[in-house]
Chains A and B, each alone.
Chain A
């Protein structure tokens, strides 16, 4: 508990201003907590020399130039973009669910924004694709300076969509991606597991690494309802009359079965799977990302 206390509560993040601020807050806070620089081991490329001015980091002084010219120059490097990352965010109707203060879509948006911010700082190329049963927003991967802003703006303008069809956008994107990279999927995966897995495996077969953030609400995991009610599907509007005490056990078994299926099947093909419930800190997602990135690189 003491260790988690330093992380930001998603509900607190939600109260912050723009998504830009949210992303920065999440990432900077996260990076501050890390003992080691996440940039270590990154390959960099020399860009130019400039004259030393007081205050410059002495570690950046080019001593060889000083030996030759007796003048102080500092080396200026251009960090190499070494990863192309595709952020896939599910905006289907089911992502609008929230038992507390944060919907799954909000949670996923914050996570996606934080990842984008982190990638931007790492000079990675990143793109965004929002989808429900079709692609509703698409920003191709780029490492340009203004790209982060475009991504964050797109995230801020996302609207909830219709029915989930994870497989189709995955197949579409897998067919379009030509360069090996990383695909980050943020979704509640409430779709046919066979089709979802098929879509994700499509990336693996093309050599693309994948990390799946399975975002669920705590109520979806625990089904803590007490009163008999009519449960209306947020995507299909199908309604089911249910007495929770009667159906809870079966529901939880099926939900855990679904999670276990994803975990097992994705693990078999080398896809990282991270289950997040919307009450958990977003930093856990960033951590999973960094671990995956390290493995990829």
Chain B
């Protein structure tokens, strides 16, 4: 039961290949001519090898070759030390320990360990015991075993991490371990209210008993829930989740040095901004640290990247840049976005644009077409190819647009009716869905589009594949979206240059233009702030600052922080927790998890076997080379 076992014992047949070097060795010995001679001592000074050494070397070579072949076969057979694997039919007690960030308050994880020890010790005598640790994911620390000492010895490994609480993930893992046999689950958790992620799936089979050991949360918690740089200031949001006011020192750290400190007073269940001024470097990373000794420790630090995101290039194509208002309003509106650093806007007339190279055009995050009359055939082809290859174009149908050539510019028939529609007294624009990212800023009545008066616009024929994002009060489409080639096209059916409306002079114009540009360029923005468990590909899922190197873009820094959803000490009740557990039928349950495979996966003796085999082969090469 405690010996070495193999997942794929048939591979051990491959060890018979070890007979090959043995046979070769014997065959080689037989074919060698041996002559008994009296004066061999007179040969010793000749440049030849003493046989004893050669024979020893041959034996060493033989042993190394046999070892390499045997190790290869054994490694493929996936060996593992079985330990005390519980039989598949034995009832099992699965101890599921919460190790999420909400267990990082002083003393909490120690209570978790103590509860786990008690649960293992008090498990019914015939039960096997398994230990699972969970946060965003659930990990089997000890598979079902009858050896309680093994499970007890693993308990000290439990430690609070930065992950969030995912009850369903943990319960699903426990259900896998239990399989079709009898079982009970002991959940050790702080009953974090945010632990029931709606997108997760998982429950326990019918008949599996659940016992919950509640770890009390801290009475209060203060967390840094956001931090961003604004010029020479870092603004951090400090949230007090406790029932009492908190007075907290907040520090800005750069490279381990304290750059700025400020003390903030935070009302109960409120948040406040901490403004940290100091000699903040232009680039690099920083941390905002709050000194909360009694609450969760995992949310006391917020990482941020100091350098701004690289600006996204946007080109506004106008008919005549010498005109007084050609593209001016949209250019100015986009230029202020993100403190003037989000977009790099350039207005060019059609003739200049036509002289650009395709590579220069492809660098643009988006192209805003305000006027097309001066675009020659080359310019039109540039826009068409840009769009077909995945570019993003915002087309306005103002007076500088030449409807006759629009098909050449876009590469598709847009169904634009050339004659503009004039609405006496103006018309207003209404979003089809206020939750659309472009119109989200206008959900607040004070920023409503209702004040915008549009006098003229062009009509679009009905077309499939076109989504109307906003309409004018008369029912004509005001803003539409459609896919052209691999690109995306937004059409604003009126003017952005104060010719057909006074919209550019309206307070709603800037947010409308900025949000539209953001919506168009969303895929081109480098995301600098990530929240666990989401991290860029290739980055370790842990709080901190890391460098992302992907594709053709230059490496850039990203800040990874804990999910502040965990920062609230609010808990659910035992009844609510128990009621939240979904029950599944035992019928059709998958086969119990192959514990042997799990053990083998953890031990990975095959890797050591292959490593030793490589060492043996290297040794064989060295000895063999000396023998030749």
Residues on A with C-beta less than 8 A from B35 are 225, 229-232
In the complex, which residue of chain B has the Cβ closest to the Cβ of A191? B41
Residues on A with C-beta less than 8 A from B52 are 238-239
Residue among A94, A239, A243, A258 facing the most chain B CB atoms (10 A cut-off): A239
CB < 8 Å neighbour of B42 from A95, A217, A232, A255: A255
Q: Is the CB of A240 within 8 A of B34?
A: no
In the complex, which residue of chain A has the Cβ closest to the Cβ of B55? A239
Residue among B34, B46, B54 facing the most chain A CB atoms (10 A cut-off): B46
Whether a CB of chain A sits under 8 angstroms from the CB of B33 is: yes
Whether a CB of chain B sits under 8 angstroms from the CB of A207 is: no
* Stretch in A246-254, A263-271, A281-289 touching the partner: A246-254
Q: Is the CB of B46 within 8 A of A242?
A: yes
Bound CA span A218–B9, Å: 62
Whether a CB of chain B sits under 8 angstroms from the CB of A241 is: yes
Q: List 6 A-B contacts (CB under 8 A).
A: A190-B38, A231-B36, A238-B51, A240-B50, A242-B46, A247-B48
Whether a CB of chain A sits under 8 angstroms from the CB of B462 is: no
- Considering the complex, which residues of chain B in the window 10-39 have a beta carbon less than 8 Å from any beta carbon of chain A? 32-39
Q: Is the CB of B33 within 8 A of A230?
A: yes
Residues on A with C-beta less than 8 A from B33 are 227-230
Whole-angstrom distance between the Cβ of B394 and the nearest chain A Cβ: 86
Q: Is the CB of A229 within 8 A of B34?
A: yes
CB < 8 Å neighbour of B41 from A190, A242, A247, A250: A190
Given A104-B38, A232-B36, 7 more contacts at CB 8 Å? Answer: A190-B41, A231-B43, A238-B40, A239-B52, A251-B39, A251-B42, A258-B42
Interface residues of A (CB under 8 A from B): 93-95, 97, 104, 188, 190, 217, 220, 225, 227-236, 238-243, 246-247, 250-251, 254-255, 258
CB < 8 Å neighbour of B51 from A94, A241, A247: A241
Residues on B with C-beta less than 8 A from A255 are 39, 42
Bound CA span A246–B45, Å: 12
Q: Is the CB of A220 within 8 A of B39?
A: yes
Residues on A with C-beta less than 8 A from B50 are 238-240
Residues on A with C-beta less than 8 A from B39 are 94, 190, 220, 251, 255
CB < 8 Å neighbour of B45 from A225, A234, A250: A250
Q: Is the CB of A247 within 8 A of B43?
A: yes
Whether a CB of chain A sits under 8 angstroms from the CB of B322 is: no
Whether a CB of chain A sits under 8 angstroms from the CB of B582 is: no
Bound CA span A174–B33, Å: 43
Bound CA span A213–B32, Å: 35
Residues on B with C-beta less than 8 A from A243 are 48
In the complex, which residue of chain B has the Cβ closest to the Cβ of A231? B37
Residues on B with C-beta less than 8 A from A230 are 32-35, 51
Whether a CB of chain A sits under 8 angstroms from the CB of B44 is: yes
| Contact A232:B40 (CB < 8 A) given known A240-B48, A251-B46 | yes
Q: Is the CB of B34 within 8 A of A247?
A: no
| Contact A241:B49 (CB < 8 A) given known A231-B43, A251-B43 | yes
In the complex, which residue of chain A has the Cβ closest to the Cβ of B46? A247
Bound CA span A254–B46, Å: 11
Size of the B side of the interface (Cβ < 8 Å), in residues, is 23
Q: Is the CB of B54 within 8 A of A241?
A: yes
Bound CA span A18–B264, Å: 125
Q: Is the CB of A233 within 8 A of B46?
A: no
Q: Is the CB of B38 within 8 A of A188?
A: yes
In the complex, which residue of chain B has the Cβ closest to the Cβ of A220? B39
Residues on A with C-beta less than 8 A from B51 are 230, 232, 238-241
- Considering the complex, which residues of chain B in the window 41-68 have a beta carbon less than 8 Å from any beta carbon of chain A? 41-52, 54-55
Bound CA span A108–B190, Å: 103
Whole-angstrom distance between the Cβ of A30 and the nearest chain B Cβ: 28
| Contact A250:B46 (CB < 8 A) given known A233-B41, A241-B51 | yes
Bound CA span A235–B42, Å: 13
Q: Is the CB of B54 within 8 A of A235?
A: no
In the complex, which residue of chain B has the Cβ closest to the Cβ of A230? B34
Q: Is the CB of A233 within 8 A of B54?
A: no
Residues on A with C-beta less than 8 A from B37 are 97, 231-234
Bound CA span A59–B54, Å: 75
| Contact A246:B46 (CB < 8 A) given known A229-B33, A238-B51, A241-B51 | yes
Bound CA span A117–B50, Å: 45
Whole-angstrom distance between the Cβ of B11 and the nearest chain A Cβ: 39
Residues on A with C-beta less than 8 A from B48 are 240-243, 246-247
Residues on B with C-beta less than 8 A from A225 are 35
Whole-angstrom distance between the Cβ of A288 and the nearest chain B Cβ: 23
Residues on B with C-beta less than 8 A from A220 are 38-39
Bound CA span A236–B55, Å: 16
In the complex, which residue of chain A has the Cβ closest to the Cβ of B51? A239
Bound CA span A135–B1, Å: 65
In the complex, which residue of chain B has the Cβ closest to the Cβ of A104? B38
| Contact A235:B38 (CB < 8 A) given known A230-B51, A241-B54 | yes
Interface string of B406-430 (1 = CB under 8 A from A): 0000000000000000000000000
Residues on A with C-beta less than 8 A from B41 are 190, 233, 238
In the complex, which residue of chain A has the Cβ closest to the Cβ of B37? A231
Whole-angstrom distance between the Cβ of B31 and the nearest chain A Cβ: 11
Residues on B with C-beta less than 8 A from A95 are 38
Bound CA span A229–B40, Å: 12
Residues on A with C-beta less than 8 A from B34 are 229-232, 239
Bound CA span A148–B34, Å: 41
Residues on B with C-beta less than 8 A from A240 are 40, 43-44, 46, 48-51
Residues on B with C-beta less than 8 A from A239 are 34, 40, 50-52, 55
- Considering the complex, which residues of chain B in the window 173-220 have a beta carbon less than 8 Å from any beta carbon of chain A? none
- Considering the complex, which residues of chain B in the window 265-303 have a beta carbon less than 8 Å from any beta carbon of chain A? none
Residues on B with C-beta less than 8 A from A236 are 40
Bound CA span A236–B52, Å: 12
Whole-angstrom distance between the Cβ of A218 and the nearest chain B Cβ: 12
Residues on B with C-beta less than 8 A from A254 are 42, 45
Residues on B with C-beta less than 8 A from A228 are 33
In the complex, which residue of chain A has the Cβ closest to the Cβ of B33? A229
Bound CA span A242–B39, Å: 13
Residues on A with C-beta less than 8 A from B46 are 240, 242, 246-247, 250-251
In the complex, which residue of chain B has the Cβ closest to the Cβ of A188? B38
Residue among B32, B37, B45, B46 facing the most chain A CB atoms (10 A cut-off): B37
Bound CA span A220–B52, Å: 23
For the complex of A and B, the 8 pairs showing the least CB-CB separation, nearest first, are A239-B51, A94-B38, A233-B40, A247-B46, A229-B33, A231-B37, A254-B42, A97-B38
Bound CA span A73–B365, Å: 153
Whole-angstrom distance between the Cβ of B29 and the nearest chain A Cβ: 10
Bound CA span A230–B55, Å: 12
